[in-house]
Amino acid sequence: MITREISSPEDLKAAFIVIKELRPHLSFEEYSSIYQSARERDDYTLAGIFDQQKCIAVMGYRVLYDFAHKKHFYLDDLVVLPSHRSQGIGERLLKYAEEIARKLKCEELRLCTGTQNVRAQKLYEKCGWVAKSIAYKKKL
């Protein structure tokens, strides 16, 4: 298995199948448009784990700056295909995130997850992440 940045149109299509597990409401057109906008505006990056040519896990990330966290690595998306869960793949992506964050000289890593996503919370805690806040949102 290889962990690498997703850059080609073929890789982007392969990653969509995985992202659909986390974001089932997205069409490929919406996904492509959001990816392009986020890439241009925030240097949003997708990385994936590939088994041969098949993408089995994806994470999306960007570097953010703010007063509370200074320069930090923010994980927007992290998903593993159901057929490959509980095999250490999510942990592998989190370690990859740490490697990139160190190279980019970030002070910390952050992510948010749904309160109902207990399985992901257990993974993050197992990997040394600590729940520090509650995120609120309001639809407009």
- Predicted confidence (pLDDT) per residue in 93-140, tens digit: 999 999 999 999 999 999 999 888 899 989 999 999 999 888 888 999
CATH of 2-126, one of 3.40.1080.10, 3.90.1300.10, 3.40.50.720, 3.40.630.30: 3.40.630.30
pLDDT in the model for residue 135: 85
1, 3, 12, 102, 115 from 15: Cα distances, Å: 15, 12, 5, 25, 25
pTM of the model: 0.90
Rounded Cα distance, 133 and 140, in Å: 23
Query: In 3-state terms, the chain is what percent helix, strand and coil (to 5)?
Result: 40, 30, 30
- Domain ranges for the chain, please list them: 2-126
